[in-house]
Structure 1
Amino acid sequence: MATHTRIRMFNTKETYPNQTLDNDLCQAVRAGNTVYVRGQVGTDFEGNLIGLGDPAAQAEQAMKNVKQLLEEAGSDLSHIVKTTTFITDPRFREPVYREVGKWLKGVYPISTGLVVAGLAQPEWLMEIDVIAVIPDDQA
């Protein structure tokens, strides 16, 4: 019996061609009734950066990704229980959190926010990962 389901598996060689990596990862994992979504940035699933230099536009794309991944895993935004948001400049807090807040209105997850020196690619201004549940009646 499988203990978890991997969603959108990928290898870092294709995702980060400018780096010498070769790691097998996935965008999300469903383990029982819990869904763990990998940090999402302003890049769509075809690898196109949306919002160069614009933290709000990157946050919007990241949340589009989160929504799609949760749905592929059998959950949705309303079942998010925890978010962790990384920004590369404290001035990005308001535009990023404002955008994320639009997507999570009425959800009330716990949230951790961090200002970091940088992310995996220099053009990324923010990243968000989430944990969500799948209600028992939907599992």
Structure 2
Amino acid sequence: MRHAAAVAEGLHQPVSASAHRALRRAVLDHASHEHRRIFEPLLHVGVPGGEVAVLGLRRGEHTDHGLRCDLVAALVRRALRPGPPPLVWLTRSGDLEPEDVDLAWLAAARAAYAEAGLALTMVVVTRQGWRDPRSGATHRWQRLRGR
């Protein structure tokens, strides 16, 4: 019996030119606006540089999976426009290695997007670059500058 190869979720290198521009913009906006070394994470849903719904998160705040799903669903409803589904990105301090907060919000985004019948693109953004927590696709910049 043949088994179809499972298609890995998430972004895969090389990303499209439009995805690269959007993700670069998310990293650039984050790096240029957040100058503290340690700060609370933010969950963004929308289009980098365009319409974005943002939720401030508190480290150590105990939210269960159901509440996180409801919060992501509300952000999606706010950010939904004609065209491709809104992007989800989590900005936080630190490096791009996976953290518990990334995986908790990924699970919520998966559930909210599945319930809405939307394709999910989610990345974690730090001052150095972005990382897709599902596929591990990563892009880092040594010195990111506006064009």
* TM-score of the superposed pair, with normalisation by structure 1: 0.35
- Of Structure 1 and Structure 2, the greater strand share is in 1
